[in-house]
Structure 1
Amino acid sequence: MLTNPVVLSIVLMTILCLLRFNILLSILISALFAGLLSGHGLVETTGILVAGMKGNLETALSYILLGALAVAISRTNLTAILINAISKILSKKSTYLVLAIAAIASLSQNLIPVHIAFIPVLIPPLLPLFNKIKLDRRAVACALTFGLKAPYLSMGVGFGLLFFNIIKDQMKNNGLIVSISDIQKVMWIGGVSMLVGLILAILAYKKDRVYNTQEVTVATNNENLHMTRKEWAVLAGAFIAFGVQIYTSNMPLGALSGLIAMIAFKGIEYNKVNDVMSDGLAMMAFIAFILLVAAGFGAVLRESGGISELVSFASLISGNKLGGILIMLIVGLLITMGIGSSFGTIPVIAAIYVPFCSSLNLSVSATILLIGVAAALGDAGSPASDSTLAPTAGLNMDGGHNHIYDTCVPTFLFFNIPLIIGGTIGAMLL
């Protein structure tokens, strides 16, 4: 087992990522390392990796198109108008305020797919209010991370459809055919687990907390916050993208339809189309390439011959179904903590989980749940994840919020523990 190429390459990848080495290079180096350990040459391993990258081509294209959608929306006052309207009716009671922020964050993953782009618009102007009501920002960090993760983990729309498609494709690559509806039927367990974590976080951080920070002046243009033809056009494009992806279960087609509608309705000026696409590419290209390379890494692991040995060993030491489930979830936690991306983790863990679940006689539904939950584990709490980096960027505008102790530690505790418990119970019962 000490020479198993799967184990050693994943350990190498995790160490490199935790040392903050470039994630893309970490995965590439680890893939080549796995190939060499299994007796394949560098050229042959590279060929396997490149051929395996096709497993995430659709998802990579979706990310690029969604990036363009997000840029188009961010170039209007649409997000600011929505936030301004909601802020006027928000109660100054901390619990309601935190829940409202979680709800707004959730919309960024499906209805208006801007991902993390809303945080610089929403959070900095609210910092004086947070200080006034003595709100513990750790609760807000948990609310933002919840909104960035729970919707795609539990609902097959927006970024959730991307997540579900990766699960479906990677399970197929490893010999198990499932549908989006099969995934939707079980992944609500992950969403409920995170909701429990959010409620516990709000209760834990309900006490007043005083921040000795300087006031941050945020430039706002409230006099310009009104719906114009451009905002209506972009909003129409966002709804068209949302509708098409639900009707067709095809994210690239939905995003493309939304972009075409925005251009046709002049939400995106014709002479600005190139700029929008370029900015969208810049926003999402790195994540898209991580997904592609991760799929190639998964292919190398499958070809290495080490998975069957690992499965046999894991089955032996786990002793029973419960032990095997816990081992898989802990492995998923470590891998995702290293990579910092739920989406990029799936190709790696699916190559191990599908045969392992089969050896434990787990159902297809249990296998789906374990892959989905294990991929999400560690994204909350990972210092390298955009689910933690983005909340910190907004909450630390006045220097009063620490990335590790105020974002990573709270989100790790309140989301990963409920996910492990929910994933374990769900997999045992399914």
Structure 2
Amino acid sequence: MTVAVEASLKEASSVKSFQKIAIGVVVLLCALVVFQPGIFPINSVILAISLMIVMCLLRVPVPIALIGGALVGAINSGLSVSQALEAYNSNLGAGAQVGMTYVMIGAFAVALARSGILDLFANKVTMAVSCGVSARGLKWGLYAIFVIVSVISQNLVPVHIAFIPVMIPPLLATFNRLGIDRRAIACVIACSISISYLLLPTGFGAIYLFEILLPNLNEAGAGFNLNIVAKQVPHAMFLPVMGIVAGMLFAVFISYRRPRRYQSSSKSELLVDAAKDVAPSPIALSQLLFVVAAVVVALCCQLWFDSLLLGAMLGFVILSFSGVFTWQQQDDVFTEGMRMMVQIAIIITLAAGFSGVLNATNEIPALIETSKAMIGDNQMFAALMMLLVGLFITIGFGDSFASVPILAPIYVPLALSLGFSPMATVALLGASAALGDAGSPASTISLGVTSGLNADGQHDHLHDSVIPTFLHANVGMVLFAWLAALIL
């Protein structure tokens, strides 16, 4: 065994040992709180959130981190275990509704993928890049295609990240020939996905803006007579989203504009050759019409009935009659889609319970008063701190959709009591919950980007996906959301 391999194994072993020790310390602290409530003179809301974040960073499964943090915080506040569980269970319903929407979207996405339309699109793009187009024009054309497809995947055809491992691998050899820095592509895709669901009110955007952000805002701000209507939410999110746009442009035009050389491996060449030589199964005209009808129905249900759940369900039913998959395969397709989205659905559901426990502790008002005493009347400092804390929390478990119900009970009353306008409050909460989503190691966005760009083993998840997307998506969003909070 070489010295380098031995050193790598020792390093990995030391990391695992530290992780085990840290988890042991966390378990011990939790036991102390359970057997001696109030042993730590700390606000129970801060304790619950901090414990949840620490467990997430230690790679404890997010559901366990949410439940464990909520129970320890509740017991520290004086609630009994049964009271804490009752508060948790009574709030699961709000998250379950969104979770079921995610499950149905997953089934619809898999059904669309079974149609072969994504494979056909990847093949057409691969053939197009092989034509005699100038390298410069080809490079910018690819960037434009990635932006368009990313937006479509979130708002029109809600397949989320499913298009990345289908579309990207056949193009890797072309990227190599053009000298395209894959970090730029990672930023383009990740930023475009974030822009789509944070601003455009259909598909996943409808879920985030209208089914998660809006009700949590009005519920948390009920004591301040806050009444936000749907059309105000995208307007409030416009400036923060422009920060992501600025970060994406900075990545493309400045950070990663220079050519980067990759090895033309046999694996990447085989991927592009396969895309050229093996044409996807042809889609019959009748099947194509069914696919178009399913997409149109899903979109219309979102616009007319404000229900992505209904749209995804009807889209799935339409595709069931198209012949894309047999009637006997319906259960398999639905189950596959459920597996794809079940993690997000569960986290969102449990996060709603977490939020309920934070309210049940009755220590949020005390936290708000303490925060106001520390911040004073300095809105600039307050807005910046709220954004940075939101960034830290979302990085912890990598999902902005689940961050909203955790942050809302604290952020909304705090922002309103500090004199922020309702629109500024929307921008602060919406941006704070979304910060870190594109740059978290556990985010579905960053994981999806890596799954496509690392098909030939030349794209590191941390250094080439997480760090670039974190810097370019989040720095710009912090600055522009900070500005939005001060001028809206």
TM-score by length of 2: 0.85
Contact 2:240 2:478 in 1 (8 A): no
> Root-mean-square deviation (CA), in Å?
1.7
Amino acid of the structure 1 residue aligned with 2:261: V
* 1:402 and 2:460 are equivalent in the alignment: yes
Alpha-carbon distance between aligned partners in 2 of 1:166 and 1:205, rounded to the nearest angstrom? 35
Per the alignment, residue 191 of structure 1 pairs with 241
Alpha-carbon distance between aligned partners in 1 of 2:447 and 2:264, rounded to the nearest angstrom? 20
- Tell me which of 243, 263, 279 is aligned to 1:212: 263
Q: Secondary structure at the match of 1:115?
A: coil
Alpha-carbon distance between aligned partners in 2 of 1:303 and 1:263, rounded to the nearest angstrom? 45
Per the alignment, residue 287 of structure 1 pairs with 344
Amino acid of the structure 2 residue aligned with 1:201: A
* 1:21 and 2:60 are equivalent in the alignment: yes
Alpha-carbon distance between aligned partners in 2 of 1:2 and 1:170, rounded to the nearest angstrom? 29
Amino acid of the structure 2 residue aligned with 1:37: N
Deviation at 1:311, TM superposition (A): 1.2
- Tell me which of 191, 195, 198 is aligned to 1:146: 191
Alpha-carbon distance between aligned partners in 2 of 1:268 and 1:256, rounded to the nearest angstrom? 16
Amino acid of the structure 2 residue aligned with 1:63: Y
Alpha-carbon distance between aligned partners in 2 of 1:213 and 1:222, rounded to the nearest angstrom? 21
Mark the CA change 1:224 to 1:404 in structure 2 (over 3 Å): closer, same or farther: closer
Per the alignment, residue 309 of structure 2 pairs with 252
Mean Cα displacement is larger for which, 183-192 or 155-164?
Answer: 183-192
Mark the CA change 1:29 to 1:213 in structure 2 (over 3 Å): closer, same or farther: farther
- Tell me which of 204, 224, 227 is aligned to 2:283: 227
Alpha-carbon distance between aligned partners in 2 of 1:61 and 1:267, rounded to the nearest angstrom? 24
Mean Cα displacement is larger for which, 9-18 or 178-187?
Answer: 178-187
Per the alignment, residue 383 of structure 2 pairs with 325
Alpha-carbon distance between aligned partners in 1 of 2:426 and 2:392, rounded to the nearest angstrom? 19
Deviation at 1:189, TM superposition (A): 2.2
Query: Unmatched 5+ residue regions in structure 1?
Result: none
Amino acid of the structure 1 residue aligned with 2:289: W
Deviation at 1:388, TM superposition (A): 0.6
Alpha-carbon displacement from aligned partner over 1:6-48 (angstroms, at most 9, x marks no partner) = 1111111111111111111111111111111111111211111
User: Percentage identity across aligned positions?
Assistant: 33
Deviation at 1:79, TM superposition (A): 1.1
Deviation at 1:87, TM superposition (A): 4.6
Deviation at 1:222, TM superposition (A): 4.3
Per the alignment, residue 484 of structure 2 pairs with 426
| Structure possessing the higher radius of gyration over alpha carbons | 2
Amino acid of the structure 2 residue aligned with 1:115: H
Q: Note the 1:11-410 alignment, pairs <5 A.
A: 11-89=50-128, 92-93=135-136, 94-164=139-209, 165-174=211-220, 175=222, 176-203=226-253, 204-212=255-263, 214-216=265-267, 217-218=270-271, 219-220=274-275, 222-228=278-284, 229-319=286-376, 320-410=378-468
Amino acid of the structure 1 residue aligned with 2:338: L
Query: Unmatched 5+ residue regions in structure 2?
Result: 1-39
Alpha-carbon distance between aligned partners in 1 of 2:240 and 2:73, rounded to the nearest angstrom? 31
Mean Cα displacement is larger for which, 255-264 or 306-315?
Answer: 255-264
Deviation at 1:257, TM superposition (A): 2.0
Per the alignment, residue 30 of structure 2 pairs with none
Alpha-carbon distance between aligned partners in 2 of 1:252 and 1:155, rounded to the nearest angstrom? 17
Alpha-carbon distance between aligned partners in 2 of 1:261 and 1:39, rounded to the nearest angstrom? 53
Mean Cα displacement is larger for which, 304-313 or 69-78?
Answer: 304-313
Alpha-carbon distance between aligned partners in 2 of 1:421 and 1:225, rounded to the nearest angstrom? 47
Contact 1:154 1:187 in 2 (8 A): yes
Amino acid of the structure 2 residue aligned with 1:25: I
Mark the CA change 1:384 to 1:38 in structure 2 (over 3 Å): closer, same or farther: same
Deviation at 1:2, TM superposition (A): 5.2
Alpha-carbon distance between aligned partners in 2 of 1:425 and 1:225, rounded to the nearest angstrom? 50
TM-score by length of 1: 0.96
Deviation at 1:82, TM superposition (A): 2.5
Alpha-carbon distance between aligned partners in 1 of 2:51 and 2:280, rounded to the nearest angstrom? 52
Q: Secondary structure at the match of 1:349?
A: helix
Q: Secondary structure at the match of 2:59?
A: coil
Mean Cα displacement is larger for which, 12-21 or 81-90?
Answer: 81-90
